[in-house]
Structure 1
Amino acid sequence: MNKRKDSVPETDPGRNIHFREGTLSAEPGLRCPSSFEQGFLYSIYPRAFSNEGTLDAVLPHLDRLVNLGACGLWFLPLHPVGLLARKGSLGSPYSIRNYQELDPAYGTVEGFARLVQEAHDRGLKVILDFVANHAAHDHHLLSSHPEYFHHDDQGHPTQRVSDWSDIVDWNFESPEVSDYLIQSGSFWMREVGLDGFRCDVAGMVPLKFWNRFREAIAEVHPEPFLLAEWQDALHHVSAFNASYDWHVFRTMREVAQGKASLSTLEQSFTDWTTNFPKRAIPLRFLENHDENRVMSYLNAKRLPAYAAVAFLSGGLPLIYNGQEIGAKHRPSLFEADPIPWEADYDPKVERTYQSIFELARDPLWGVGNDTVPFQLEGAFGIRRSREGALGVLLANMGTSPIQLTRPEPDRSWSVLLGPEEERFDLLPGEVWIGRSDR
């Protein structure tokens, strides 16, 4: 039986950060498909999205998401979930029994294809979670080909992360493993017309696999989009278009909790631009399915400052289903736990996201690396530039009012959000955003 030889850390596996000490900052990196350059990526867990827990229940929401400013949908895994060692009554969607089947609880492959087409008709791209590191204990290949999986010293199927007791890790020393997973990814690209994948714990999988994976799906789709759940500059040279910016996320949360300074936040933004390939896109987020809701540590008054900084700073914004209306409870991955859309609805939160994503329709505030963070009189600032236009964002991320002077007074400013006066106050959570075309 195959025993483990790799050494990826067991703790916090999806959040390891590898800047490579700036050695890759001169690399161009992969170009991001233009369809992902404006708007936000909307993450959907169908089991939580509706009481029905089906893909058909997503259809009525497509127009709402387009109107809010979505450019793409990301579905958590939709495959049959393992029965052996499952967590909870329904199990984790990341414990997969068969990669080339759709869980009947969600619908049919044909129904998924219809949903993708409806999304495409509205200008939305669609990506699916792809789990290449591990599978369920009762994956159909484990009994017929045990050599495809890792085993411990006693010969039992094993996993690198002890808490993930419901899965077993693939063994990439068996070339057939890569073949099977690549066939599975290509299958979904062909059968339903996907535009790419979000790749679970990407750094726990050999990079040479992801390079092969990209080459294979590029034969099906002319411009596939790959998002890595990891933060490694090396991923962007030839495999991934975007990856999680865990560094900025964690620092922003610590600023909100009074545990980090604005200087630390400024450095976390700079760390991306000075270490990652030029066209590498950071995924910027305030929450996701693995993290507590942003409204568990911020209120509606302070949210605008954090949302503006996260989503207008040059990264691809991520919204997790329910976030847009102020949901406070993070749905369980292991049970039916529908989002209480009506009970949690907060019109102030909804208006915050509406105003920010309305601004994000302007290419000046869209995805790109033309971002310079700074501080001004107690405010955190983001400076954006594009084709001669300059945009400046000032946010009060603290808990006390601050007084500011409009930046660069020699410029003529159009105020997009906030006070019109030259000298003005910003209360906690408030934002000033201006644009200058000369």
Structure 2
Amino acid sequence: MQQLSFALGAKRLAFSVSAITLSLLVACGKATSPTAPNTVSDAPTVTAAANEPSAAPAAEPSGKAVVYQVFTRLFGNTNTTNTPWGTLEENGVGKFNDFTDDALKGIKALGTTHIWYTGVPHHAVITDYTAYGISNDDPDVVKGRAGSPYAVKDYYSVNPDLAVDPAQRLQEFQALIARTHQQGMKVLIDIVPNHVARDYHSLQKPEGVADFGANDDTRVAYARDNNFYYVPGAAFQVPQWPAEYQVLGGETHPLADGKFNENPAKWTGNGARAAQPAFDDWYETVKINYGVRPDGSYDFDTLPADYAEKDWQAHYQFWQGKNVPDSWIKFRDITLYWIGMGVDGFRYDMAEMVPVEFWSYLNSHIKQVNPNAFLLAEVYQPQLYRDYLKLGLMDYLYDKVEFYDSLKLVMQGKGPTSALVATQERMADIEHHMLHFLENHDEQRIASPEFAGDARKGMPAMVVSTLISSSPTMLYFGQEVGEPGAVDAGFGKASRTTIFDYWGVPHHQRWVNGGKFDGGALSPEEKSLRQFYSTLLSFSRSAPALNGGYTELHRVNLAAGTAYSEQQLAFARYSAEQQLVVVSHFNAEQATAFTLTLPAELISTWQLADGKYGLHEQLTGTSHELVVANGVGSIAITLAPLGSVVYQIVR
């Protein structure tokens, strides 16, 4: 999901009442209706890219997956000018070719199994690429100068900014896929089914593929096989800009005239139906129609409830011969095109604003081609999590609203660690599918004053986030060196690393070290932080206990009357091969010491007789001791401020 407005730089919060109603009906699957005929063939028209094949994909990970999210445009940029609203020439831009073997080895050293290359599909930008046959984009409907990666202009191509030779941009991306696979990692890219750029036009589409909207009946607000919704009789008007905002920071531009030619106006990406969207709407995008009528009722076959218990093969068979809206077929063909090129999976933007039936259709078709495809979705309504996993066939969802939000409060000293225990219990039946993270492109940087003001506060939180469940862990580039996202970049605002502007990321650039990718310019503190992340995530990548059992140790130790408190969190993870005790301390100022109790039920499960057992600490390599007496275990714990221990029992 893209960051919101210039003014707020926050989550997409500005829904109109009509948009809320529509999106909730769509997401919840409450409304149904008869199916209308569809004249478009349901047979895939695109299953592979007609270009050079990539190297063979990496082997399936044997333990927990670790996703490294990298904002592709920013990763390799060594330019330190950082002029707000600066051009590509002023501030520089990273390229696909910056992901050298050395760079990829450095990413893999963090335990990475999958790289999410954010911002790859060709989105609207202000840089002039007309020499390559690409039309200029209008700054009045582009956020920032470098553009939002969630306003895709051509789904069959890649961002020309990212290529050394824009004419060879697709081939350069294919080479990156091959290099990533050669380093033993898999490739994820964004797919944004809910909306596209206001001026969508594909230059690279295969023969026989029509652009979104090319065959729409624009005389009506809605038709099932229209790709967009319309405001008949009304032309689009650009938003009323806030007093503090100027397009391109006030720079003169021939297309920055307060106008954009779109008649009739289309509904905006967040569902806003006015011909003139608000500034806080997703005004740079238009909403895709999936056969959901303006009243929220469905114009396609709904999925029987018992399909929540069926596998993707059954879902795939269900959709064979069914009439589905044209937009479904277009996105199926787009995703199969990228799978055919060697992409290993997708991160789906704002999946909850698209009906769950579409996801069943799309994901079952993807799994039919690549059963191991990694499918990660952005869903923020916990009551919908299970529908999008079980009916929508998502592999993973962001655990944002439940786990991340609770953990953020703990890191800020505003919430109890008990909330994390309760969240983990609520998610017990789906915990494996709830991807954990502390940062991503939408969220504030840990080190920013607006969040925690200190990158070290991410350390106990990352131990908990990574080890408490069997779900994948995600790390956002720069998090591992304490990047604070401290400066207003133009459209992008402080506390989040900009996704809208040409920019250099200072702390991350010190690891890049002029293209050596060796961390040679990092401070000792930054090197230590990166080593912490590397040790923790590499351990999680291979620890069998993390795919096994979980026992919370929090409540029994709160009740024990020791110094253990709501500033600590303790739990056990275990399998037949490995037993772990994890304790984290969230106080940044004071050390703590207490005796941790391991209850009799856990000691019995681990089949430990009375006596003493060695403990090997996994983050530092130190040794310690577990004492079992009368069937109850105890460990003398001492933790420095923001300290954690991960003890493995030595038998």
Report the Cα offset of residue 5 of structure 1.
Answer: 9.7
For 1:29, the equivalent position in structure 2 comes to: none
Gaps of 5+ in 2: 1-17, 29-58, 78-92, 125-136, 164-168, 202-211, 219-225, 235-263, 272-279, 292-323, 486-495, 512-521, 558-563, 599-609, 626-634
Matched, 1:394 2:549: no
Structure 1 residues 117, 56: CA separation in 2 closer, same or farther (over 3 Å shift)? same
CA–CA distance in structure 2, aligned partners of residues 286 and 410 of structure 1: 39
SS at match of 1:101: strand
CA–CA distance in structure 1, aligned partners of residues 545 and 379 of structure 2: 24
CA–CA distance in structure 2, aligned partners of residues 35 and 424 of structure 1: 33
Q: Could you tell me whether the CA contact under 8 Å between 1:46 and 1:58 is conserved in 2?
A: no
Task: Give the paired residue count.
Answer: 413
Report the Cα offset of residue 98 of structure 1.
Answer: 1.3
Matched, 1:129 2:318: no
For 1:332, the equivalent position in structure 2 comes to: 498
CA–CA distance in structure 2, aligned partners of residues 194 and 411 of structure 1: 50
For 1:370, the equivalent position in structure 2 comes to: 549
Matched, 1:216 2:365: yes
Gaps of 5+ in 1: 18-32
CA–CA distance in structure 2, aligned partners of residues 425 and 49 of structure 1: 39
Structure 1 residues 9, 292: CA separation in 2 closer, same or farther (over 3 Å shift)? farther
Structure 1 residues 411, 123: CA separation in 2 closer, same or farther (over 3 Å shift)? farther
Matched, 1:7 2:22: yes
Residues 35-434 of structure 1 mapped to structure 2, 5 A cutoff:
35=61, 37-51=63-77, 52-59=93-100, 60-82=102-124, 83-84=137-138, 85-107=141-163, 108-140=169-201, 141-142=212-213, 144-145=215-216, 146=218, 147-152=226-231, 154=234, 156-159=265-268, 160=270, 163-173=281-291, 175-191=325-341, 193-230=342-379, 232-238=385-391, 239-246=393-400, 247-274=402-429, 276=430, 280-296=432-448, 297-314=452-469, 315-329=471-485, 330-340=496-506, 341-342=508-509, 345=522, 346-364=526-544, 366=546, 368=547, 370-375=549-554, 376=557, 377-378=564-565, 379-399=568-588, 400-408=590-598, 412-416=613-617, 417=619, 420=624, 422-434=635-647
Q: Could you tell me whether the CA contact under 8 Å between 1:324 and 1:349 is conserved in 2?
A: yes
Q: Could you tell me whether the CA contact under 8 Å between 1:359 and 1:365 is conserved in 2?
A: no
CA–CA distance in structure 1, aligned partners of residues 404 and 535 of structure 2: 21
Report the Cα offset of residue 144 of structure 1.
Answer: 4.6
Q: Could you tell me whether the CA contact under 8 Å between 2:616 and 2:650 is conserved in 1?
A: no
Determine what percentage of the aligned residue pairs are the same residue.
23
- Counterpart amino acid of residue 114 in structure 2: G
Report the Cα offset of residue 357 of structure 1.
Answer: 1.8
CA–CA distance in structure 2, aligned partners of residues 135 and 46 of structure 1: 20
CA–CA distance in structure 1, aligned partners of residues 143 and 231 of structure 2: 21
SS at match of 1:218: helix
CA–CA distance in structure 1, aligned partners of residues 116 and 68 of structure 2: 6
Report the Cα offset of residue 410 of structure 1.
Answer: 5.1
TM-score when scaled to structure 1? 0.86
Report the Cα offset of residue 353 of structure 1.
Answer: 0.5
For 1:435, the equivalent position in structure 2 comes to: 648
Determine which structure has more spread, i.e. the larger CA radius of gyration: 2
Aligned-residue RMSD, C-alpha: 2.8
Report the Cα offset of residue 36 of structure 1.
Answer: 7.2
- Counterpart amino acid of residue 124 in structure 1: M
Report the Cα offset of residue 423 of structure 1.
Answer: 2.3
SS at match of 1:198: strand
Deviations 1:283-312 (A, max 9, x none): 111110001111221524433211101112
Report the Cα offset of residue 389 of structure 1.
Answer: 2.7
For 2:9, the equivalent position in structure 1 comes to: none
Deviations 1:204-262 (A, max 9, x none): 11111111111222233232110111151222215111110011111111111122111
Report the Cα offset of residue 359 of structure 1.
Answer: 2.0
Deviations 1:36-80 (A, max 9, x none): 733510111111112242111122411111122111101113122
CA–CA distance in structure 2, aligned partners of residues 434 and 407 of structure 1: 14
CA–CA distance in structure 2, aligned partners of residues 135 and 163 of structure 1: 14
Report the Cα offset of residue 130 of structure 1.
Answer: 0.7
SS at match of 1:43: strand
Report the Cα offset of residue 401 of structure 1.
Answer: 2.5
- Of 157-166 and 177-186, the range deviating more from structure 2: 157-166
- Counterpart amino acid of residue 481 in structure 2: I
Report the Cα offset of residue 365 of structure 1.
Answer: 5.0
Report the Cα offset of residue 406 of structure 1.
Answer: 4.7
CA–CA distance in structure 2, aligned partners of residues 323 and 5 of structure 1: 33
TM-score when scaled to structure 2? 0.59
Report the Cα offset of residue 4 of structure 1.
Answer: 7.1
Deviations 1:181-204 (A, max 9, x none): 11011111112x011111111111
Structure 1 residues 386, 152: CA separation in 2 closer, same or farther (over 3 Å shift)? farther
- Counterpart amino acid of residue 23 in structure 2: V
SS at match of 2:103: helix
Report the Cα offset of residue 156 of structure 1.
Answer: 2.1
CA–CA distance in structure 2, aligned partners of residues 212 and 200 of structure 1: 17
Q: Could you tell me whether the CA contact under 8 Å between 1:36 and 1:71 is conserved in 2?
A: no
CA–CA distance in structure 1, aligned partners of residues 350 and 543 of structure 2: 31
Structure 1 residues 195, 338: CA separation in 2 closer, same or farther (over 3 Å shift)? same
SS at match of 1:328: coil
- Counterpart amino acid of residue 157 in structure 1: K
Structure 1 residues 258, 87: CA separation in 2 closer, same or farther (over 3 Å shift)? same
